[in-house]
Structure formats: C-alpha cells, structure tokens
Amino acid sequence: MTITNPSRNETGALERWIAAGDTADEFSGVVDGPAARFGQDGEEAAAPDDRLVRMAAELETARGEAELQRDPAWLARQSPGEMRRERRLARQIRGGRRRQIYTTVRSEQARQLAQVRAENRIAARDVNDQIWHRRALSRRQRMLDPTSRLASLQRVTSAASAGLIAVAVAGVVWTSAGVKNALVGPDGSALAYLAEPIFSVPLIVLMAVTAVAARFGRKFPSKEHRTKVYAVEAGLLLASIALNTFPCCPAPEPGRAPPCSSHTWRPRCSS
C-alpha cells in the first residue's frame, strides 16, 4: 500500500514506515525458510528469490564472523616462534630460580657455619676468662693469706736452692775431673776424683747450714764456735784452690821447659 502526497512528489514518514514494514515481512519470510512458504490456510506461498536467500545466509555468516573475529582469543593466540621464545624464557626463569635457591642455601649454610665458629670462639674466650679469673682469685688468696705467702716464699726459696745446688754439683764434678787429670793423668786411678770433693763438699755443707740457720732466724756459727768454723772454712777453701791451681803455678827452672809443656794431658795449662 502506497500513499502519495498530492502536494509533493516525495514519500512521507508514514509511507516510509509502511514500506519498511512490508520489506521486513518479506525478509522475515525469506529467513524463516520453509515455514514462510505456507499461508494461513496451509497453502504453499510463492517461493522468494534464491538471491535473497543467499544474501540472508551471507548476512548471518558475516554477523557470526564479525562476532567471532572480535573475540579476544584471536589476540591471545601465539605463533610458533612466540611459543618457542616462551619455552626458552620459561627454562631461563626455572634455571634462575634453581640458582637462586642454591645460592640461598649456600649462604644459609655459610652463615650457620660462621655462627657456630663465632659461638665456639666466644665459648673459648669465656673459658679463658674464667681460668684467668680463677688464677687471679688464687693469687689474691695467696697474697692475703699468711700461710699462702709463706708457701709461695718456700717454693721460690726451694727453686733457688735447687738451682744453686745444681750449679755447685756441676762445679764440683768439673773441678774433680780437672784435679784427677792433674794428679794422676787421664789413665790414672778413679779414686783421684774424690780429691776435690773432700775439700769442696764440706765447704758447701757449711754454707748450706748457714743459709738454713738464717732462714729460721738463727745465727751459725755461734759465738763460741765462730773462730773454729771460720778457720775450717778458710782451710777447706785454700785446699780446694791449691788443688785446682798447683799444676800450673810452679815456675820453670832455668834451662827447662815449663811443666805444662811436657804434659799434654793437663788441659788447664793449655791456656
């Protein structure tokens, strides 16, 4: 149905609406397919043009393609090269994580080992401090306690006495060997070794007795025996000096060589 305006040769709004409604009905009949071929009485209507059917199918296809083409999955799709690069990157990331874990474990082990060493050093220093503290307390106790001070003095005196006795014994042995060689020679009797101790040992004993008496606050010798003891000490000292010096003391006679020149076994004369 077409309504024309007599004043104009153009199509109005109503005409356009009616024309659009007719076109939509025809198009819907084409799209509906076989159901649109039959009328209200069930009679088969006239078949539309095949070109319109193809165009409708193409339109639906284009709409579906447009909807599918706008799907984000097309943008997220990776090419083979991108997939290879992704796998390579994933391997590098995993390797980096493994190295990081290994470095972390090694650092933790080194830190624990350093901590153990530090604790051992601290414990050793604590023990050393305790030892020195105990030594200081012991020294303080020895200094404040009269008995401890006396014991310390006794230890020092004993050590000094032992050292002096050892020196005296070594001197007696040395002089005994020299006196024996001077009296009987290297091949002489071994009894000659006793010549020097006969005079030097009593002198050492008298000196030791004097030291012990002084330690106990006594005087040795007493006044009544002082002269005798001094005379004995002087005699022993002179005898010991004579035994050690007489082989080289006599002056040689005129025209004769010194006695020491003919006795190679007298070592003190060689000087």
Q: Where are the domains of the chain?
A: 13-74, 83-144, 147-247+263-270
> What token pair was written down for 133?
């503290």
Provide the 10 A C-beta neighbour count for residue 182: 24
The pLDDT of residue 141: 84
Would you state the torsion angle of the CA atoms of residues 80, 83, 84, 89, taken in this order, to the nearest 10 degrees? 160
The pLDDT of residue 211: 80
Tens digits of residue pLDDT in 203-257? 888 888 888 888 788 888 888 888 888 888 888 888 888 887 876 655 555 455 4
The pLDDT of residue 18: 53
117 pLDDT tier (thresholds 50, 70, 90): very high
56 pLDDT tier (thresholds 50, 70, 90): very high
12-51 burial, b at 16+ Cβ within 10 Å, e below that, comes to: eeeeeeeeeeeeeeebebbeeeeebeeeeeeeeeeebeee
Q: What is the mean pLDDT of the chain?
A: 77
Encoded amino acid at 141, one letter: Q
- Indicate the SS3 state at residue 234: helix
**Owner of token pair 């624990």:** 112
Tens digits of residue pLDDT in 148-170? 888 888 888 889 888 988 998 89
The pLDDT of residue 146: 86
Tell me the average pLDDT across 111-119: 96
Residue 40 has pLDDT above 60, yes or no: no
Provide the 10 A C-beta neighbour count for residue 221: 17
- Indicate the SS3 state at residue 10: coil
Cis peptide before 221 (omega within 30 of 0): yes
Which of 3-7, 31-35, 92-96, 202-206 is modeled with the greatest confidence?
A: 92-96
Q: Measure CA of the first residue to CA of the last residue in the chain; give whole Å.
A: 167
Contact 157, 215 (CB under 8 A): yes
Give the ranges where the chain is alpha helix by DSSP (H).
13-32, 50-69, 73-76, 80-144, 146-183, 197-215, 226-245
The pLDDT of residue 263: 41
**Owner of token pair 């076994």:** 265
- DSSP class of residue 270? G
Instruction: Measure the CA–CA gap between 113 and 116, rounded to whole angstroms.
Output: 5
